[in-house]
Amino acid sequence: MAIMKISLAGFVLALMCLPMLVMAQDSGLIPCGYGDNPCDTADVANFVNGLISFLIQMLGVIAVIVMVYAGFQLVTSGGDEGKWTKAKELFTNVVIGIVIILAAWLIVDTIMEALTGQGLDVWGRLN
């Protein structure tokens, strides 16, 4: 049963990522390597920035989906302490996961800012 849930979660995640992968060249995620526009190291940084931006956006979507699922489990627990506890733990784990991922982004951004003066530029800030 657990393998089926993991497989379903992986399938849903793959479906959410598919439009980005299919339209990568048209959306500007990969802005070089075709025609008279060769790739250079700045394009690699732009690709990483776009990828991180996409992953942070997907973090929000996945977190909302998991919180809705946990809320549903909480409401339908029917007074069962085991289900109630599992749903509360799921809420807690989602919040901890969001904090860890955003903290990791902040650490990498701070290091990139110190090394390059630009950071990761996920939200398009001006430097």
DSSP 1-62: -HHHHHHHHHHHHHHHHHHHHHTTTTTTSS--SBTTB---HHHHHHHHHHHHHHHHHHHHHH
Structural domain range at position 100: 2-116
- Mean pLDDT score, 104-114: 78
Residue 126 belongs to some domain of the structure: no
Q: Is the pLDDT reported for residue 65 higher than 80?
A: yes
Residue 39 belongs to some domain of the structure: yes
Residue 124 belongs to some domain of the structure: no
Residue 121 belongs to some domain of the structure: no
Residue 125 belongs to some domain of the structure: no
Helices first, then strands: H and E counts in the chain: 3, 0
- Count of domains observed in the chain: 1
Q: Is the pLDDT reported for residue 101 higher than 80?
A: yes
pLDDT at 111: 78
Residue 111 belongs to some domain of the structure: yes
User: Is 48 within 8 Å of 120 (Cβ atoms)?
Assistant: yes
User: Is 120 within 8 Å of 51 (Cβ atoms)?
Assistant: no
